[in-house]
Structure 1
């Protein structure tokens, strides 16, 4: 069942890039609306069936929830900013460093990764490099963009690591509602400060925003939030690397274009790295869900 959910999550996040690219609206505003709409849809369930769990969190739980929501918002802001300053290939490759940041965060917490986990992660990152064709430029703008993409990967790592801790005591619905709500508020402030318009677009743009919310947010990130209770943040981060070939496959399907051979080679490398890390984690210790949804 978890394999099926992981596949759904990958397909969901893979649709994000092509849909956001086709939406005639500021990307930061799209990020706000996808989180805000998802929060609104979850509210009736979260504030009725899960209200006691949400309000009954201790200080540590709220702190971790705020960190996860803020990290998700920062990830969106950095990712969007990097795409305007550097190449999509470079930004994609650098934000994928998320998995190495997760390993580093675990090491700081006293949980050293095995050689197999590090090796499998590096193998998967080679797959991302093969697909994206990393092209790092030395211009001032490109260097700043590369830095933002790298920061986006760091914030994504913080998001899944903190989320995994919250999911130890909070259900998927309760955590997702809290995280998306905090993220929405931060993105709203960012949009207002930056002068990003939050409306005035065509009906087609709004339909595409709803499509992004359903696919990337509800079927993508929300399922990922569920998987954080049954998979390690490293494995979840590796799953997210499949967004790179996934987005390429979706774009190729819509544009009726043939994919270059490095894309297929990259997919094999990512899946190989994922298999190595999953097997290593399985030998180390099984991760069991602590909270029922």
Structure 2
């Protein structure tokens, strides 16, 4: 159990660095999103080349399964587009807290469309989280120091959370029959292709980015994508759901901490992000709601924000 707990801890730390990597890039948000998925897909290629079983599985995927995975890939592209854009428009704390609220968004959809049972604890968690969202989004409007929090950025983060919830719902049943690598490779590939065309549509550059930006995004794909999400999935099958639900709270806390501490370490304290009072109050309420919503769901409902 210790090695799985260690893997979970490492994955949460790795995912928490994603926001810092994104803020370190000068490239437009859509360009970052495109290369984030492209580089993660490329990093999975060696596994695909080594494992013939995985290649055979992808070739033999039923047409309907493949179609669903394509739709999920498009949703994943929407998630990264919305969330990464929100990080450029609002604070790290607000953005990551709102996008991490996907268990709250998944629960009612599962109840109505998948006919899954919704306990009173889940319902209470949803209500508490929605109240927290109201405090964070509306309370911060016009009151945030340095203009870090904007209502537009917070709404984009929330929509990114909706996309993350749809991504989880769409892939939940497929993950029971399709291996992790096969699923990730197809979905990431579709997401990267979708983002390529989104970049073209919005005139976001896909070539001639700064070398430093390419390096940072590649590092993000390795650290937050492979070590973060892969280790999270690995731990998922070996640790209780109640523990995983608490672990969900680690990313927004870790990201907020890093956004304040790292600028101090690299001697640029003036860019450190200090959460506003509304962010702290609303974020705490949301995290409590997420915990209550996620603590009783199945392990498969706790799939990561990619």
- Written as runs of structure 1 = structure 2, the 5 A alignment for 1:25-36 is 25-36=27-38
Change (3 A) 1:5 1:68: farther
Show the counterpart of 2:117: 112
Structure 2 stretches of 5 or more lacking a match? 144-149, 302-306
Q: What is the 5 A alignment of 1:1-293?
A: 1=1, 2-47=4-49, 48-83=52-87, 91-108=95-112, 109-120=114-125, 135-136=140-141, 145-226=153-234, 239-256=247-264, 276=292, 280-281=296-297
**Alignment partners' CA distance in 1, 2:76 and 2:243:** 18
SS in structure 2 opposite 1:167? helix
TM-score (norm 2): 0.74
Which residue of structure 1 lines up, in the alignment, with residue 304 of structure 2? none
Shift of 1:96: 3.9
Q: Aligned partners of 1:30, 1:160: CA distance in 2, in Å? A: 22
Q: How far apart, in 2, do the equivalents of 1:226 and 1:170 lie?
A: 15
After superposition, the Cα gap between the structure-2 partners of 1:144 and 1:247, relative to the gap in structure 1 and judged at 3 Å, is: closer
CA distance in 2 between partners of 1:237 and 1:66 (Å): 28
Contact persistence 2:102–2:162 (CA under 8 A)? yes
Q: Distance in 2 between matches of 1:177 and 1:111?
A: 29
CA separation of 1:193 and 1:241: change in aligned 2, threshold 3 A: farther
User: Aligned in 2, Cα 1:133/1:207: closer, same or farther, shift over 3 Å?
Assistant: farther
Q: 1:85 and 1:15, CA in 2 relative to 1: closer, same or farther beyond 3 A?
A: closer
CA shift at 1:279, angstroms?
5.1
- Contact 2:82 2:156 survives alignment (8 Å): yes
Q: With structure 1 as the length reference, what TM-score do the two structures score?
A: 0.77
Deviations for 1:230-249, whole angstroms, at most 9, x for unmatched residues?
78999978744432211111
- State the Cα RMSD in Å: 4.0
Distance 1:147 1:132 in 2: 7
Q: 1:254 to 1:224 in 2, by over 3 A?
A: same
CA distance in 1: counterparts of 2:288 and 2:133, whole angstroms:
12
Aligned length: 282
Q: Which runs of 5+ in 1 are unaligned?
A: 289-293
CA distance in 2, matches of 1:190, 1:174: 24
**Distance verdict in 2 for CA 1:133–1:219, change over 3 Å:** farther
